[in-house]
Every structure is written in C-alpha cells, then in structure tokens.
Amino acid sequence: MDYRSILVHLDGSARCDERVAVATSLARTYGSHLLGLAPTGWMDVPGSIGASLGGPDHLQLSIECLERNAQALADSFLLRLRGAGLPSYAARVYHGDPLPGMVQQARSCDLTVIGQTDREARDTAVQPDFPERLILQAGRPVLVLPRRGSFAGLGQKVLVAWNGSREAARALCDALPLLRRAGEVHLQYFDSPSGTELLGSRLDDSCAWLARQGVAAQGHIDVTNIDAGEALLSKAAHQGADLIVMGAYGHTRLSEFLLGGVTRTLLAQMTVPVLMSH
C-alpha cells in the first residue's frame, strides 16, 4: 500500500499555503498524483431567497465572483507546482458547497489533506464542523493540519492512539506508508488500573503485526485519570511526536454528527498534524 494519489483542499484562507506545502512534500516523497480541489462555496438558492438577497442579477454576480476566486486558486496551485518534481498534478474547481465536493473527491484518493477549523479566521468559506464531517464521510484517511505552525517534514516520530477498536485498526493500516518511513513509532494506550494485562498482550500483537509490515514500533500502556484526548496531546508533546494517528469515532443521529470525546478534543486542541480514519 502507498499513497498514489493525494487530495488537498484549496481555499482563500491564510493556511492554504501550508496545506499545499505539506501535500506537495508528501506527493514528492511517495511519487503521488496531487490534486487540488477549489470549491466555489455557493449552493442552489430558492428564487424567493435570491430575491431577498438583491434579485437574480445580484445573485448571479455573486456566483460569478465565487467562481472567479475558485479558478484563481486552482490556477495559482498549478503555477506553484511547476518544477516541484511531481510525477503528475491537477486542479479542479467544484461548483458548490465544499463538503460534498471534498467527500466525493476524497473517495477517489488515497489521502486527503485539510486544515483544522480556525474559529477566529474570517477568510474561510467552510463550516466549523467541516473537518469532522469530512473525516466521518470520506471513507479514506484524512490528514488534518493545525491552524498554526509549519509541518512539511512530518512523520519522523509518530504517536498512534491504540485501543483495539475497528477505527484504531483502520487508522493504523491507513497510516502504513507514513509509519514505514518514520524514525520512531509508538503505540499508546491509556487505561484505568483494571484490565491492563490483557490489553498489554493485545498491544504486543499489534506491534508484532507492524513488524511484519516493516515497522518497528514500541507499545506503551499508561494509566491516567484525565481525558484521553488531553493525555494523548500531552504524551505527543513529551515524546516530541510530529504526527498523531488515530481512529475517529462518531455516528449520525438524524442529521447531527456526534463525535467521541477523544476525537473532539484532538480536532479542537491539536498542536501537531493528526491523521484520522473512520
């Protein structure tokens, strides 16, 4: 398994350049096709609402402006990648809301690169819950970059959140290309004082599986009374990890997405990139 195709979200935010830099570095490392998707951000609006916004002419001009902006992002992306040493690359404009466009395209790529929600930013068209919705719907691994910092060389020291669940196993498998190139890989389980002996043997099994995949990993079990997400971030900082790998937990109830506490904590407070799978 390798990342033969990588998707990166293009928008007008200040962090878009960092996303492109990381995606380009990964594509160069794995010899991947790199695709930049620039959603326009507009949705079909009923005529009655369009009239209240200033009439059809105003609405049409607004749509055309969004389309020009998205095309400019795509053109800038292509210009930036000239001479980047990639085997192939392309850019597309998606005419609509970012979420369905990214979900649709992510399902045809091996890895998707997006940014953490920045609730203080005013230069982004995505909804605050864009990362979690994409992660839960894409069916492919999603690499989320923090809203601050530079991370082009990520993946040298990787911390994997492990609890033996389906989601954790999926994330571990999806991260194999990165894990094989890492200098250090640590599988981390946080638990209460009970049951650690059985979990320890399961952790050993996972490390043995990784060894057969060409990955030398160390397993750790820590007993903690604090939130597992906060414990994971603290462990990453203590170890100097530059990437966290974890399964994303959530389910739908009507139209509302409900996330597990660890997933929610990581998406809100991440300080290093996080690769998530669901």
**What pLDDT does 195 receive?**
53
Summarize pLDDT for 39-78 with one digit per residue, the tens: 998 655 444 444 555 555 656 668 889 999 999 999 999 9
| Cβ proximity of 220 and 186 under 8 Å | yes
CA distance 243 to 274: 6
Domains annotated for the chain, with CATH where assigned, are 5-145 (3.40.50.620), 157-277 (3.40.50.620)
Greater pLDDT, 132 or 121: 132
Classify the C-alpha dihedral 158-164-166-169 as positive or negative. Answer: positive
Greater pLDDT, 163 or 214: 214
CA distance 23 to 112: 9
Greater pLDDT, 181 or 49: 181
Could you tell me the pLDDT band of residue 201, with boundaries at 50, 70 and 90? low
**What pLDDT does 213 receive?**
97
| Cβ proximity of 207 and 199 under 8 Å | no
Mean pLDDT of 97-101: 95
**What pLDDT does 253 receive?**
44
**What pLDDT does 196 receive?**
52
Could you tell me the pLDDT band of residue 240, with boundaries at 50, 70 and 90? very high
Mean pLDDT of 79-106: 96
CA-closest candidate to residue 236, choices 269, 192, 202: 269
Could you tell me the pLDDT band of residue 146, with boundaries at 50, 70 and 90? very high
**What pLDDT does 121 receive?**
67
